[in-house]
Structure 1
Amino acid sequence: MLSDSTLLVRRQAALMTLIFSKDESDTATDRISQGLKIYQNNLLMTAARAISLKYPVLEKMVGNETIIAFTDQLLKKELPNTGDWADWGVMLPALISESPLADDHAYLSEVARLEWFVYQAAREKVTHIEVETLSSLTESDLDAVSLHLSPTLQVMESHFPVYELWNLHQVPEGGEVDEGELYRLLVGNSAPHYSMVFQQDYHARLKTLTVQEYAWFKDVLAGMSVERLLGKHQEIDFVSWIEQAISQQWLVAIK
């Protein structure tokens, strides 16, 4: 038997689908149709507000009207199915990458992707390192041992300096973005850029990575054993990395 909370979520999802599937071809009376349009618009504004909270840099870059337009399109592809707007919006970067804006502003979807990682890292449950597993590094068979990173940690490759773009828009309320610096970042930056998002001390953190660091993290996240990691990435100072991974709260276990 389904729990009351599961039933509620399903009813909410069904209601949202019903509301946003209605259009002007429906045979309902004008009065009912008008009421439905008002309700749809109220929900659209609620959804747009949820998007602006998740993607504040994107909103600064494109403006509130464009955010509303994106939200309207997103609701046709992805409806909140948990009953909580906070869980909704993961498909926005993909939607932007398929929009006409992507032809001249491909960086927008990349900035949105980074912002989703930041949002997720900020709201994920805090994880603590399993200190007792550190002794696994003393085992003789390191091919049977792997590094387990925080589920909040994400790495990202982009042809745009997304970290720098994100950081440039971290201005105080009422402050203005340096348009000259923004132009500089968007022109002539075709080389790959690498970024990482993680949770530390209950906050989302961002940092840039070198290509070597990015390759290392990708292999760690893929579950590569410690022995294979050390053989493949000989440029990494493993002892220093372990110390940093513990202090920065990247590492949760070695086993």
Structure 2
Amino acid sequence: MSCTDAREREALRQQLLLRSLWREAPEGALRGWLRETPAREQRSLAAYRSNGEAVAGRALATAFPTVEQLVGEASFVALAAAFWRAQPPTCGDMAAYGAALPGFIAADPQLADVPYLADAARLDWAVHRAEAAADVHQPPEGLPRLGTDAPEALAMVLRPSVLLVSSRWPVAAIWHAHRSSEADRFSRVRAALEAGTGEHALVWREGWRPRVLALADADAAFTTALLAARPLALALDAAGAEFQFEPWLLQALQHGWLAAVLPCLEFSGEEER
């Protein structure tokens, strides 16, 4: 057997193994590929499945701590196992696994009695992404352009860790409450849920610490436009008359949201976020 044939055979064996683990392959599909009896084959597959579910569960618990607290540990283990079976990992980096969990939660009728759970998961995932985002150590590039160039000619680039989650639920309050030790930490969440108050949650990282801040509508509209690579003039238009640029810029500089101020022609808006 040539090296090419051996590689192709091994690739096929691995594909069959994965499909068997995820119950997509017919029963006994691995027979002839494994030197095991049918009974040992089933025990091996069961062990692999159990280990895969456990690894996926730990990865998801790391990425979605708020969701785990909201549903409880036992329910989260069951949720993670169901998600693993429905949407198994497609790459070896388990830190990248879980992007589809908010949608999976939203589509699950069993979780309909916790209507804010999917958006809490979206915020957890945004925080997880922010924690893994590329570092930017230097001060914002091109800041003096704000005093010389027209807004129509400029684009403001936010750092890779800056993300925004907008929800009809108080997701920022929920996130903070589950990280507080105060006795009345859930009172604000209850009041917001009763009032039907939604929130725009800005996510970023300061050093190694993730941050979450609830934004006003105008600030959220401005941030959304920047994240969509709109020119500064269009971002200001989207924010409306209530938006105050100077206080926003001061916050952006204090917290490290801003990466650069560039001429529009130099900014393609295609940077991966």
Report the equivalent of 2:219: 213
Does the aligned pair in 1 maintain the 2:173–2:189 contact within 8 Å?
no
Does the aligned pair in 1 maintain the 2:143–2:261 contact within 8 Å?
yes
Aligned pair partner of 2:122 in 109, 113, 133: 113
Report the equivalent of 2:256: 249
Q: How many residues align?
A: 243
Does the aligned pair in 1 maintain the 2:16–2:25 contact within 8 Å?
no
Does the aligned pair in 1 maintain the 2:22–2:88 contact within 8 Å?
no
- Among all aligned residue pairs of Structure 1 and Structure 2, give the percentage whose two residues are the same amino acid: 25
Report the equivalent of 1:51: 60
Moved more, 238-247 or 226-235: 226-235
Q: TM-score, normalised by structure 2?
A: 0.78
Which consecutive unaligned segments of at least 5 residues does structure 1 have? 1-9
Distance change >3 Å, CA 240–CA 177, structure 1 → 2: closer
The reply on whether 1:191 has 2:192 as its aligned counterpart is no
Does the aligned pair in 2 maintain the 1:161–1:189 contact within 8 Å?
no
- Code of the residue aligned with 1:249 in structure 2: it is G
CA distance in 1 between partners of 2:188 and 2:47 (Å): 39
Aligned pair partner of 1:62 in 65, 71, 80: 71
Aligned pair partner of 1:88 in 84, 97, 102: 97
Q: Which is higher, the Rg of structure 1 or of structure 2?
A: 2
Report the equivalent of 1:22: 23
Distance change >3 Å, CA 194–CA 132, structure 1 → 2: closer
Q: How does 1:162-241 map to 2 (within 5 A)?
A: 162-171=171-180, 181=187, 184-185=190-191, 187-232=193-238, 233-241=240-248
Aligned-pair CA distance for 1:89: 0.9
Distance change >3 Å, CA 231–CA 71, structure 1 → 2: closer
Which consecutive unaligned segments of at least 5 residues does structure 2 have? 1-10, 32-37, 263-273
Deviations 1:156-204 (A, max 9, x none): 22121111111111146xxx98697387257424233221111112221
Does the aligned pair in 2 maintain the 1:129–1:251 contact within 8 Å?
no
Moved more, 131-140 or 46-55: 131-140
Q: Name the structure, 1 or 2, with higher relative contact order (CA <8 Å, separation 6+).
A: 1
